[in-house]
């Protein structure tokens, strides 16, 4: 028996510490979910303070002197497989946490909660002045954190934050990948828009009652294998997937004039949820059982939403579910329904974007947030820069339209700088993974068209879900597809589907 399993081992003590942290994290996740879905507005100050207190408590436990000493001892012990990977992930979390002072953890948590809560009413009111005041404080604290991390890592400020979401990835890698994307995507987008202009497309006529949309969403979640014993769906201002693997909370938002936004939001978040629900169950509560990275998480939601749900095979089984809820109408005729779901039309809103124009939204945000964190621009420069890039990348104008421009996302409100590029990295991983699934499962198309999604989900479970953070991102993708990230599959996918 290795020392890893003896009661006195340092590794065993570390496991107990991380189990405790996981339990506090569980409470924090559910309180955060409630804050965005159920909590009355008057509860915000008390809840923000409670969550900040919880953040500080977790930080104290993780960065305690004894924890550091345990790592020194645990590294001398003989561990293998998941245990070895778990110790590496523990160490990574410890190293990330120990750099940041407790006071900054608390200040960031409070500023983020204040900014996000105010954003909910400021965005509908198009109140950039009010929003920017709160955002300035979030940016100030984020820069402080980034500076501390950058000095320790010998990296740029932005790279230090990016590493929290995408370990091992640098902005120079993203600049190269996005630089290549910018050489061919605008032309592809133009070709697709021109081509589709020749193909008339009927729009479904509402109203579509919220209760009926909710029933449709539940039936699609069931089709996609969501485990309702370990999760639920609700409504929030911005769709998200939260909670914990044993109790996954997803949200969407409804509009009675159309049902597509809510439905695609549910499909996207169900992709996140299936990943969470299938992380290595025997290791839950330990860092190794957490999702590998944000881009890998996004690859699962985008594989569900873009690769699968916008594909003709899946649309053939989705259509009857929609007709069952809303009845027959000309726009739901099969060929029109497929055209409708594969419509490419540059728009202002990222979360509603088609998969061809979506990367432009991400590149725009990446370029702005990188400049903001590095101090090259200030908060007041965002609207003009946003409009300039919207015009350059999508041919759209956002002057004075803050609500559907630079105020539309939730990420910057709580200082999640470094997150945005992972959406397009995720789309690229999704295309690469789906290509590999097709090669591994020659009958995939016919299986999907018949409503048999089990082979696809089994492949994802075996190759991605069950590994948690056992491998680095490069190792995980290489084991699943035979190579590290290759953006060629993304381009190939878009050209095949749209041209």
**Alpha-carbon gap, residue 242 to 256, rounded angstroms:** 25
**Alpha-carbon gap, residue 277 to 461, rounded angstroms:** 10
**Alpha-carbon gap, residue 293 to 166, rounded angstroms:** 5
Count of beta carbons in the 10 Å neighbourhood of residue 301: 24
Q: Which is nearest to 308 in space by CA: 457, 193, 422?
A: 457
- Residues annotated as catalytic are 269
Q: What are phi and psi of 253, to 5 degrees?
A: -140, 145
To the question of whether residue 268 is assigned a binding role by annotation, the answer is yes
Encoding tokens for residue 114?
A: 């204040």
Mapping DSSP onto H, E and C, the string for 123-162 reads CCCCCHHHHHHHHHHHHHHHHHHHHHHHHHHCCCHHHHHH
To the question of whether residue 361 is assigned a binding role by annotation, the answer is no
Measured between alpha carbons, how far apart are the two ends of the chain, in Å? 59
To the question of whether residue 59 is assigned a binding role by annotation, the answer is no
247, containing H or E segment: strand 247-252
119, containing H or E segment: helix 102-122
314, 457 Cβ separation under 8 angstroms: no
Q: Show binding-site residues.
A: 268, 272, 298
Q: Show binding-site residues for Zn(2+).
A: 268, 272, 298
């Amino acid at each position: 028996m290795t020392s890893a399993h003896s009661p006195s081992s340092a590794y065993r003590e570390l496991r107990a510490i991380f189990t405790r942290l996981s339990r506090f994290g569980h409470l924090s996740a559910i309180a955060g979910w409630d804050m965005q879905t159920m909590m009355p507005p008057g509860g915000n100050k008390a809840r923000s303070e409670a969550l900040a207190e919880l953040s500080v408590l977790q930080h104290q436990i993780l960065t305690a002197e004894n924890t550091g000493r345990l790592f020194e001892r645990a590294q001398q012990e003989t561990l293998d497989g998941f245990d070895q990977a778990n110790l590496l992930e523990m160490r990574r979390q410890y190293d990330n946490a120990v750099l940041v002072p407790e006071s900054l953890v608390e200040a960031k948590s409070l500023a983020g909660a204040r900014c996000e809560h105010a954003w909910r009413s400021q965005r509908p009111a198009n109140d950039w002045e009010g929003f920017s005041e709160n955002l300035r404080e979030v940016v100030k604290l984020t820069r402080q954190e980034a500076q501390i991390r950058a000095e320790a890592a010998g990296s740029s400020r932005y790279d230090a934050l990016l590493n929290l979401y995408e370990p091992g990835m640098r902005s120079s890698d993203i600049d190269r990948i996005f630089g290549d994307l910018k050489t061919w995507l605008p032309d592809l987008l133009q070709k697709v828009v021109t081509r589709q202009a020749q193909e008339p497309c009927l729009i479904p006529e509402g109203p579509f009652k919220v209760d009926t949309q909710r029933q449709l969403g539940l039936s699609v979640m069931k089709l996609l294998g969501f485990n309702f014993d370990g999760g639920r769906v609700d409504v929030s201002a911005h769709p998200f997937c939260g909670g914990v693997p044993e109790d996954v909370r997803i949200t969407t938002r409804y509009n009675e004039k159309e049902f597509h936004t809510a439905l695609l939001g549910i499909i996207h978040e169900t992709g996140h949820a299936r990943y969470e629900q299938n992380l290595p169950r025997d290791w839950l509560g330990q860092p190794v059982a957490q999702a590998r990275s944000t881009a890998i998480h996004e690859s699962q939601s985008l594989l569900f939403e873009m690769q699968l749900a916008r594909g003709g095979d899946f649309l053939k089984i989705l259509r009857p579910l929609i007709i069952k809820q809303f009845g027959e109408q000309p726009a739901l005729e099969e060929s029109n329904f497929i055209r409708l779901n594969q419509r490419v039309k540059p728009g202002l809103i990222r979360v509603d974007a088609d998969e061809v124009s979506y990367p432009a939204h991400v590149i725009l945000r990446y370029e702005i947030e990188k400049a903001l964190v590095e101090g090259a621009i200030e908060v007041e420069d965002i609207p003009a820069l946003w409009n300039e890039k919207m015009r350059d990348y999508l041919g759209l104008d956002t002057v004075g339209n803050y609500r559907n421009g630079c105020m539309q996302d939730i990420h910057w409100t709580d200082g999640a700088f470094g997150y945005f590029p992972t959406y397009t990295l995720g789309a690229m991983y999704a295309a690469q993974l789906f290509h590999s699934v097709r090669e591994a499962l020659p009958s995939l198309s016919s299986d999907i068209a018949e409503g048999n999604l089990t082979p696809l989900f089994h492949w994802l479970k075996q190759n991605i879900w069950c590994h948690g953070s056992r491998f680095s991102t490069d190792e995980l993708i290489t084991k699943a597809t035979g190579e590290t990230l290759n953006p060629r599959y993304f381009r190939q996918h878009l050209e095949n589907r749209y041209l």
